[in-house]
Each structure stands twice: as structure tokens, then as C-alpha cells.
Amino acid sequence: MQQILLPNFPKESGSVMDNATLHKGKAMQKMLEDAGHSLLYFPHYFPDLNPIEKKLAQAKHIRRT
């Protein structure tokens, strides 16, 4: 995040993250806020906003059949 993403973010941009422990850490929040960016989180469980959920559902379906 600090070495690759932040230097390439447009000024005052926002970042939307899932609720992974890594993303919820104070260090991540502080890093983004110090750089002038806002931080938003997905709701706790909202599969429509997280594309990996669709792939996991497909894999589970294949595994069951």
C-alpha cells in the first residue's frame, strides 16, 4: 500500500475496502488519512459488492455436484 498504491492514488481520493483485519488496522487507517485520502468499508456481509463471493459460490456448487 505505502510503496505502490499510495504514490499512484489521485489526490484526495477514497479507498473502499472489505472488513479484513489487515484493512481495519489503525496503521492502515492512519497511513491513508495522513496521505489525505478517505477510507470506506463494505458492510460486514454484502456479497454483491465483493466479486470473490461469486467465484466462491461457483466453486462450492461444483464441489457439491
Q: What is the pLDDT of residues 25-45, one digit of tens each?
A: 888 889 888 988 888 888 777
pLDDT number for residue 12: 85
The residue range of the domain holding 12 is 1-64
Work out how many domains the chain is built from and give that number.
1
Contacts 24+ apart (CB under 8 A), 12-17: 12/36, 12/37, 12/38, 13/37, 13/38, 14/38, 14/39, 14/40, 15/39, 15/40, 16/40, 16/41, 16/42, 17/41, 17/42
Q: How far is CA 30 from CA 23, 24, 39, 49, in A?
A: 11, 11, 10, 25
Residue 13 has pLDDT above 80, yes or no: yes
* pTM for this entry: 0.55
pLDDT number for residue 20: 80
